[in-house]
A and B are shown apart, each in its own frame.
Chain A
Amino acid sequence: MKVSPIRKYLREERLPTIFCPGCGLGIIMNATLTAIDQLKIDINKIVMVSGIGCSGRIPGYIKVDSLHTTHGRAIAYATGIKLANPELNVIVFTGDGDTGAIGIGHFIHAARRNIDIKVICVNNLNYALTGGQFSPTTPKGAWTYTSPYGNIEGFFDLCELAVAAGASYVARWTVREVYNLINSMKKALKKKGFCFIEVVSPCPTNFGRRNKMETSQKIINFFKEREIKVKDAKGLSREELRGKLIIGEFVDRELPEFTETYKELILVSQKKFKEPEKPGLAWIELEIRY
């Protein structure tokens, strides 16, 4: 029997997972481990960090150094880890509530610093672990327990936020596009900078069942009908994009990375200054970037 190449990365004694039938988390775990395996990254140098929510459980099933932290704070923990030991590959698993609501501050600030952390955000369109409440990415009109008359709130485009905040690499896929997802993960793992990959994922238990999509297949079809590639979306008006799910790479660019710049700061401060001169260290050009 052929053994899956990712099996060696699992904490097998912890299986089966707590994930519901039809959940996309297994596909995302698989894609991440496949990318790591194909790139032959030293598993001892990987740290996986997560917050609270269904996505937060992923690191607990993988044989790596891993942290299952508090709600919304995974990226902040990851920032400390990466800064204290830049040799580690830090991967964050997070969800739409974790990143888009309670932890949005850490998300956009980590992107602003462009710190070398890879964030995989599982967007299942609702707060699922708590039983199905609306999140900042729940579609308008959707039924959840806290939107019993249909969701009336607007939608956060987490990828656009990451781009605006200064991330090096940003992409969105649904669990339908597994090979694109693996390729994006490989790109992100090789890149030096803040990388954000949003994976739109089916939650039949808490999102689907209440919105006339009882099976994962129906939710995936719902994604498929709405998908539009980034390049095809370019030039379309807001009105034309209404109800569309934009997928693909939003940005892939080279920007100064925070831990690298900090290393430089250490060298410059030690070489030039016994005590910092006032006002400030003038080794970086003054620049206002918008």
Chain B
Amino acid sequence: MTNRKGKIDFLQGNDAIVEGAILAGCRFFAGYPITPSSEIMESMAARLPLIGGVFVQMEDELGSIAAAIGASLTGVKAMTATSGPGFSLMQENIGLAIMCEVPVVIVNVMRGGPSTGLPTKASQADIMQARWGHHGDGEIIALAPWSVQECLDLTIKAFNLAEEYRTPVIVLSDAVLAHLREVVIVPDPEEIVIVERKHPEVPPEEFLPFKADESLVPPMATLGKGYKVHYTGLSHDERGYPTDDPENYKKLIERITAKIRNNAEKITSWDMKYIEDAEMILISYGSSARAVLQACINARKRGYKVGFLRLITIWPFPEKLIKKISENVSKILVLEQNMGQVLHLVKEAVGNRAEIYFYSKLGGEPFAPSEILEQIGRILK
């Protein structure tokens, strides 16, 4: 962070997401007010016109995601932001973006649920909704920032991944990060890497819009450029035409799944500390990981051999990494603000190679390092 050139600012997480989005080239935002994400759309409403972008407040979240996907098809980088209830409403159209392979970024500032739940307080209970909220198969990419700086950085990354893989990418922030203010470096534009989508290199009459090369990601034509592409949520062939042919459907679903699964190691990132001699690894992510790291440091001072693993990419889930870690430790403690969602994935990756413990905190209050330390002491005593 320190060696990056940029402007030093003091921002809340929601505003850092806006900074990141604008740096990444986002020029279209559609949204619907919902706590605790509304500041994102408020900032977008003020900022986008100043740089010639478009902000629109839609009539609901169904319309917001639909408008963002529509805008993306015109070649513009587009996003929407919401929280749990709105995220649920977006799911059907997220499915369309997966099926039609349209890049779009969706920020879900997680709050307590189900239903209206705890609108002003944090949770991490949308992990599974992010992955399985839409019906049918298909992969998703989801990133979980743990700091205001990462709200900015991972939003840039989200746009890059969306463009590279032609797929919706979800940023899973939460109510703590949304309104937490921290010092942030807003990098100079030349300090960041921007990925643009691939465009067709052949004339329209030779273009097959859903035929991919070995990258499995087809080039994308822009609406209005003469390519006359047909996008449909129906199972479609390489021409984009609807077909219910079983072989064709299988080929399509396998490709849109593989384009992300095959690149999982390239996409996923994590943060690991004190791992070498650790007997127990603490696995966490998002704002919760802040207290977990502090607890880890405090535990080490008391002689406990604990390590720290923070997931930055939640989906695709880094199962190979978790499996590898589980070969060298005897215990794993998963910490998250839900009833056990990443826990399931850890269990699946670890099998019976290590004992798995779980500590959760519900109610919206962040973890305190002291309570985690107490758990560590109880397990390792």
**Interface residues of A, Cβ cutoff 8 Å to B:** 11, 14, 43-45, 47, 49, 59-60, 63-70, 72-73, 76-81, 83-85, 87-88, 105-106, 109, 262, 265-266, 269-270, 273-276
Q: Considering only CB atoms and an 8 Å cut-off, how many residues of chain B contact the other chain?
A: 45
Residues of B with C-beta under 8 A to A70 = 66, 92-93, 96, 233
Shortest CB–CB separation between residue A160 and chain B, in angstroms?
Answer: 19
Shortest CB–CB separation between residue B160 and chain A, in angstroms?
Answer: 20
**Interface residues of B, Cβ cutoff 8 Å to A:** 27-28, 30, 46, 49-50, 52, 54, 56, 58-60, 62-64, 66-76, 78, 92-93, 96, 100, 223-234, 241-242
Which of B64, B74, B230, B241 lies in contact with A81, CB distance below 8 A? B74
The answer to whether B56 and A79 touch across the interface, beta carbons within 8 angstroms, is: yes
Shortest CB–CB separation between residue A237 and chain B, in angstroms?
Answer: 34
Residues of B with C-beta under 8 A to A47 = 223-224
Residue pairs across A and B with CB atoms within 8 Å: the count is 137
The answer to whether B232 and A60 touch across the interface, beta carbons within 8 angstroms, is: yes
Could you pull out 18 A-B pairs where Cβ atoms are within 8 angstroms?
A45-B224, A47-B223, A60-B242, A65-B223, A67-B100, A69-B96, A70-B96, A70-B233, A73-B62, A76-B58, A80-B56, A80-B66, A81-B70, A83-B56, A88-B74, A262-B49, A266-B49, A270-B50
Residues of B with C-beta under 8 A to A66 = 228-231
Residues of A with C-beta under 8 A to B242 = 60, 68
The answer to whether B67 and A80 touch across the interface, beta carbons within 8 angstroms, is: yes
Residues of B with C-beta under 8 A to A275 = 46
Main secondary structure of the interface of B (DSSP, over half): mixed
The answer to whether A84 and B28 touch across the interface, beta carbons within 8 angstroms, is: yes
The answer to whether B93 and A83 touch across the interface, beta carbons within 8 angstroms, is: no
Chain B residue, CB-CB nearest to A281 = B49
The answer to whether A88 and B59 touch across the interface, beta carbons within 8 angstroms, is: no
CA distance A97 to B311 in the complex (A): 44
Knowing that A44-B224, A66-B231, A84-B71 are A-B contacts, what are 7 other residue pairs whose CB atoms are under 8 Å apart, sorted by A's residue number? A44-B228, A69-B233, A70-B66, A77-B67, A79-B58, A80-B71, A81-B73
CA distance A67 to B68 in the complex (A): 14
Shortest CB–CB separation between residue A10 and chain B, in angstroms?
Answer: 12
Chain B residue, CB-CB nearest to A113 = B56
The answer to whether A44 and B225 touch across the interface, beta carbons within 8 angstroms, is: yes
The answer to whether B93 and A73 touch across the interface, beta carbons within 8 angstroms, is: yes
The answer to whether B74 and A84 touch across the interface, beta carbons within 8 angstroms, is: yes
Residues of A with C-beta under 8 A to B96 = 69-70
Residues of B with C-beta under 8 A to A79 = 30, 56, 58, 63, 66-67, 70
Chain A residue, CB-CB nearest to B229 = A65
Residues of B with C-beta under 8 A to A60 = 230, 232, 241-242
CA distance A261 to B71 in the complex (A): 18
The answer to whether A73 and B66 touch across the interface, beta carbons within 8 angstroms, is: yes
Residues of B with C-beta under 8 A to A270 = 49-50, 52
Shortest CB–CB separation between residue A19 and chain B, in angstroms?
Answer: 14
The answer to whether A76 and B28 touch across the interface, beta carbons within 8 angstroms, is: no
Residues of A with C-beta under 8 A to B100 = 67
CA distance A270 to B30 in the complex (A): 20
CA distance A78 to B203 in the complex (A): 26
